[in-house]
Chains A and B, each alone.
Chain A
Amino acid sequence: SQQGEEDPQALSIQEGENATMNCSYKTSINNLQWYRQNSGRGLVHLILIRSNEREKHSGRLRVTLDTSKKSSSLLITASRAADTASYFCATGYNDMRFGAGTRLTVKP
């Protein structure tokens, strides 16, 4: 597996707005995952999208995958203050490498 790189590095929005984060990677993948990390805590697995899938939903989360562009996006709709966290993407199951993440701040 190889490193995913998230973009933007930081994002600040108002509660109720949508937040979009992007992830790019360099080689072919079987799957891509998004994780959330609250400050001072471990990572929580949010959603996995397989290489043969283009879009996946889970509650307020929507993930897209474009294997031709080697990129993925995570959309959080109707954001809440509790969504404030860092978000990381990673590929594969073992040997996951994380980028610097996107630090999302949702202001109440």
Chain B
Amino acid sequence: GAVVSQHPSRVICKSGTSVKIECRSLDFQATTMFWYRQFPKQSLMLMATSNEGSKATYEQGVEKDKFLINHASLTLSTLTVTSAHPEDSSFYICSAGRSGQPQHFGDGTRLSIL
């Protein structure tokens, strides 16, 4: 089946640091990539949707200047958490999709800001 690689799997860093998370579709071209955030024992909350070569569409309440998304190619999207603070600590998950097909998810990134 389709494989989506998300890296890194875990990040621990100091407050004020910017953190970049990569999401790669390894064996298919993803026209759309999605970024989710998940708090413990809660559901996935969609943060933004990105299409290759265009600006990401952010969900209401998600700061686009805080969570920078770049979708430079059909196989790579990045999420940069800028000037991260402890409240940004969470589990971030990406997924990749193409027209008429289910999304395929990465394994998530556990972000811990000290």
Interface residues of A (CB under 8 A from B): 33, 35, 40-45, 48, 88, 93-101, 103
- What is the minimal beta-carbon distance from B30 to any residue of chain A, in angstroms? 12
The stretch among B14-22, B64-72, B76-84, B104-112 that forms the contact with chain A is: B104-112
Contact, CB under 8 Å: B43 / A100: yes
- CA A94 to CA B95, docked complex, whole Å: 10
Beyond A40-B91, A42-B107, list 8 extra A-B contacts (CB 8 Å). Answer: A42-B108, A43-B93, A45-B103, A45-B105, A93-B100, A96-B103, A97-B46, A100-B43
Q: How far is the CA of A99 from the CA of B43 in the complex (A)?
A: 6
Given A40-B91, A40-B108, decide whether A101 and B43 contact each other with a Cβ distance below 8 A.
Answer: yes
- Interface residues of B, CB < 8 Å — how many? 26
Cα separation A40 to B83 with both chains bound (whole Å)? 24
B103 neighbours in A (Cβ, 8 Å):
45, 93, 96
> Once the chains are docked, how many angstroms separate the CA of A44 from the CA of B105?
7
Residues of A within 8 A of B104 (CB): 45
**A59 and B4 alpha carbons, distance in the complex (Å):** 24
B75: Cβ under 8 A from any A Cβ: no
Which residues of the other chain, B, contact A88 by a CB distance below 8 angstroms?
43-44
CA distance A40 to B42 in the complex (A): 12
Contact with A along B52-72 (1 / 0, CB 8 A): 000000000000000000000
Enumerate chain A residues within 8 angstroms of B1, measured Cβ to Cβ: 45
Bound together, the chains give a CA A98 to CA B105 distance in angstroms of 13
Q: Could you write out 7 A-B pairs with CB less than 8 Å apart?
A: A40-B91, A42-B93, A43-B95, A44-B105, A45-B103, A45-B105, A103-B41
Interface residue B49 (Cβ < 8 Å from any Cβ of A): yes
User: A98–B101 Cα gap in the complex (Å)?
Assistant: 17
Q: What's the Cα separation between A60 and B80 when bound, in Å?
A: 40
- The answer to whether residues A48 and B102 also contact, given A40-B108, A94-B97, A100-B43 and a CB cut-off of 8 A, is yes
Chain B residues closer than 8 Å to A93, beta-carbon distance:
97, 99-103
